[in-house]
Structure 1
């Protein structure tokens, strides 16, 4: 009657490992088609989108007006020697600068607001949908991977909508506008510049690709350091118990040094990129200036026209380079969007039928398994339940016992509609499971797991999880009946903090608080999964007293391995290989000398010699 739970990595380790794979290593999409899935989110905020577009166009127009203003300063002021013209030209330049500042601020506000709003909505939608998915989904996709999609991938989408898309659009508009103005200013020099620009952009693209590669490597090393820190902090008790603090310090410092070295290489490549970009840019500008100066001396163009041409050339080249830089971010964001929408495209394995049958109200707690067969996804032909039949009367307490893998936990998972049977029928108060709404079905059950999962916050918050609309008096009553008020009252009662995942409480206290949550729910069926398996004798007495209170007036199924729980059951159902092989009370099953007697002899012989009789 032992139960072996498969070891699972801790949350910190699992999440750190997923981020280690995610940060800086998110594969790019091959196209931007997945970004179409963001259209509904953009449409919800179309007024903000229109505002952003208007300010974006105005900001681009203002930036294109700067070279025109400079031309006026030179041609109508400096060359003509007219001080009034100089004053008016600089006044016009100042007005343009102020307008560009206002328009840029408006663009930044609307674009950033849209980015934050869309990602908030997308994250909320993905999380809402995750809560509707069946546990089978999380056997295929790790929790850490899901969390990394909600963090890393969502951050990429936010960067795209709130920054990259604006930069790309503004750069495109400015590049087109500057190119048109170049052709208008001097068609011959514009044609020459078209031949020069690829040579100017080549080194920038080459170094830019190397910088992106090294940036990815630097992020990987940072993720390694984060993973090392997360794993050691999450298992701090184990680290200190085995005296491995120095080893962990060395591991973390090594990871930090590798991260620094990767960052240093990235900084070096970025410095080379800066030097190369500036050199190539100014060499190209110098060439255009030289040719333009000759045109000015020949009287073919004015000095202001030359200055205007140079400024438009710089705008065109810099915005062209900007577009090439952000394209990689656009593709990464496209891949991130695809991964998030993949979650939204998942359909729950357990869903309500088109016309669900309502369960009787009030519920009686009658349960029937009728020749149920079930196999976990990916388990091949190994069945968890085979022709499993069991009837539980309202108010009856039934203990499920058997060796590991007998199917006891599977019974609970089917009752809670985490999965549906492949064959046979499961009925609750005469209603077949597949015909009922899963959420309505689950309201008829209170569940206490072996791990007693608690959430950060207060004791009252955790008890209220079972009954959100309960008042403080009802929550306190549940805590008292669960033998939890004795340790809660000195700490502030319902306001007592439980710490992260209940770490501020002992194992017995967590179990009693989980029982209080079940009592507050006041459902007709109570499911107890190894509720006392990890407790010492004193805490077990407290919990057993709470269990006796919890069983009053409701049907109870308990996965029982401890003697006290087995003996208090109205009926013991012995399972093996997914079937019921024996059932009866303790004395009758011992006298039969079957599987139960052998299990009892192995587990209980030392504690109670009378058990073998």
Structure 2
């Protein structure tokens, strides 16, 4: 049994994380440089306080000089004010940069996600994508805006503190430096562990988000089948998986922080003991020892800050890798560098030449069902249709016939010529390839071989946007967005006026129920149109297609969810809509096929019959079976 296709993720080198973030900071290099300048000013100001401590002890306390002590105190206050002002500027700029970089990353990721085909989203759950898009970018924002700033400040303090310690006492500084490897060792060792475990933890959080998205999306089914208890148990299992993944990360971070703190204080204690003996022997003054202690404490505190922040930075590195994987996912529909142009008046002529296509790498179980169109005529004992096939990437065709022996082909050597303005109905059993044909016409997938031409131009040589602007789609399961009626209808023609929208709704027989809403065309329809009935959703979708006014219509049995009265009204609207337009209809009912200029009977990706209803009743046994089992039955 073949392994189910996994999401294609590019390998991301861990060394690529910082340059990747740096690329987003590059446009704001002025603010980055300014923030670094203020960071240095603040850190150096704090470091200069050590000399203030030395002066207070040697020239104030020990010499009992009150006026000098007052001068030194005023100097300390001035240095503190300067440092605080620098901290404000640095904190503001770094926080702004964190927010800006996070926003830019989200914009870039979303822009890339819009370019990926439906095949990508059939392989990777939407909840997982959302987790990377939101949680991971938020974590990165926190690091760039806060943790990274703290790490840089602490690093400057460590370096500056060591320099000032060396100026004060070279011998004691040498002792401190001997302890540095003991402190840095755990940082590098445990930091690497934290990074790897953080990546695993973020993956588990993504899985959790995907499960929540799935269950809440299908809450009607969950509650209708009283599946709440099982979902609680499954959710609890995923929550515990997140917790288990976090335990290792927490353990290593805790070990890291405690080890660094212990080793730092131990080193300071040893140095103080040596320094105290030097003061008693007269090698250094009490003020110099006090200044050295001040610097040593600052260095130890900064090292502890670095060890604590390093965990957050490593955690963000894991999240960043997930974002890089997402943004570097190859676009599975090749973009033509120099796309061809269509004529200003598209006639709508379609021609399929020996088209072959397969959703490859299925396992045996999924193959039987995933080839289903999800909305086709079913024969007795035919498998239940599945609405979410899992295609994988297919290389651009070279028009070879290497795929002839591929038993997984959904479309097998299809040759169809559709004239401009022709009305063609497609009938066939589940898995015949009807919905797949719709997907291929809009180039959501790449052909294995063959070509599809629109007005004599190979659609592979057009830009996807140019191609898809020629189609108006009315799916069987209408798509309604969480916005107003007005915005839903003009989704395909955003520049349309409100009057244009109303005229389209009147033509689709939708105006009659829209005007009954308290807010009319401004009525918010809820997530996935929960406030509408099935028939109302379909009429909104039809109004959208009418308003788009495109030369080719793709109708996936656009009246299937309507009652008898509404169906008759919408059919009248569709009849006027289809005048002068090339129309392909996935047909389930007799009334649809009778009105078609031509009917194509599909079976296992091939055309096995073509003609009018009367002709096919005489010439096609398969069509007669459809007519008796499905078409005629539905219209009784």
Deviation at 1:452, TM superposition (A): 1.3
Output the CA distance in 1 between the equivalents of 2:195 and 2:475.
Answer: 47
Structure 1 unaligned residues grouped into runs of 5+ = 1-17, 19-25
Deviations 1:558-589 (A, max 9, x none): 11113332222221110112221111122221
The answer on 1:430 being equivalent to 2:413 is no
TM-score, length-normalised on structure 1? Answer: 0.84
Please state how far the C-alpha of 1:234 moved relative to its aligned partner.
3.3
Q: Is the 8 A contact 1:512 1:546 kept in 2?
A: no
Whether the aligned pair in 2 keeps the contact of 1:426 and 1:433 (CA below 8 Å) is yes
Q: Report if the CA contact (8 A) 1:171-1:320 is conserved.
A: yes
Report the counterpart of residue 515 of structure 2 in structure 1.
489
Mean Cα displacement is larger for which, 127-136 or 28-37?
A: 28-37
Tell me if structure 2 keeps the 8 A contact 1:30–1:331.
Answer: no
- TM-score after normalising by structure 2: 0.82
* 1:598 match: 625
* Separation in structure 2 between the aligned mates of residue 140 and residue 372 of structure 1, nearest angstrom: 24
Structure 2 counterparts to residues 70-85 of structure 1, below 5 A: 70-85=53-68
Aligned counterpart, 2:127: 144
The question of 1:88 aligning with 2:114 is answered no
Give SS of 1:465's match.
Answer: helix
Question: In structure 1, how many angstroms separate the alpha carbons of the residues matched to 2:122 and 2:631?
Answer: 35
| Distance apart, 1:213 and its partner CA | 9.6
| In structure 1, distance between residues paired with 2:260 and 2:322 | 35
Q: Which moved more, 1:135-144 or 1:267-276?
A: 267-276
CA deviation vs aligned residue, 1:220-259 (integer Å, no higher than 9, x gap)? 9977876775555333323332345566667768987998
Q: Mind listing any 5+ residue stretches in structure 2 that lack a counterpart?
A: 1-6, 363-402
Q: Distance in 2 between matches of 1:394 and 1:490?
A: 39
- Size of the aligned set, in residue pairs, is 585
CA contact (8 A) 2:195 2:317 kept: no
Q: What's the counterpart of residue 239 of structure 1? A: 222
CA distance in 1, matches of 2:186, 2:351: 74
CA–CA separation in structure 2 for the residues paired with 1:254 and 1:85: 68
| Residue from 353, 362, 370 that aligns with 2:336 | 353
**2:353 and 2:208 mapped to 1: Cα distance?**
53
Contact 1:485 1:493 in 2 (8 A): no
- Taking the aligned partners of 1:473 and 1:255, their CA distance within structure 2 comes to 50
| Structure 1 residue 423, shift from structure 2 partner | 3.3
**Farther off after superposition, 356-365 or 140-149:** 140-149
The correspondence of residues 113-192 of structure 1 with structure 2, limited to 5 A, is 113-192=96-175
Once the two structures are TM-superposed, the CA of residue 335 in structure 1 deviates from its matched residue by 4.4
Q: 1:415-473: CA deviations, max 9, x gaps? A: 11223434333222232223333211211110111221121110111111110111111
Query: How far, CA to CA, are the matches of 2:338 and 2:189 in structure 1?
Result: 61
**3-state secondary structure, aligned to 1:309:** helix
SS at structure 1 position matched to 2:602: strand
Report how far residue 46 of structure 1 moved.
Answer: 1.2
Structure 1 residues 29 and 516: alpha-carbon distance in aligned structure 2, compared to 1, 3 A threshold: closer
SS of alignment partner, residue 70 of structure 2 = helix
Counterpart CA distance in 2 for 1:423 and 1:247 is 46
Q: Which whole-Å CA distance do the structure 2 matches of 1:224 and 1:373 have between them?
A: 35
Using the TM superposition, give the Cα deviation of residue 146 of structure 1 relative to its aligned residue in structure 2, in angstroms.
Answer: 3.0
In the other structure, the counterpart of 1:563 is 590
CA distance in 2: counterparts of 1:157 and 1:581, whole angstroms: 56
- Pairing 1:325-344 to 2, within 5 Å after superposition: 325-344=308-327
| Aligned match of 1:394 | 420
Q: Which residue of 2 aligns with 1:101?
A: 84
More displaced 10-residue stretch of structure 1: 319-328 or 187-196: 319-328
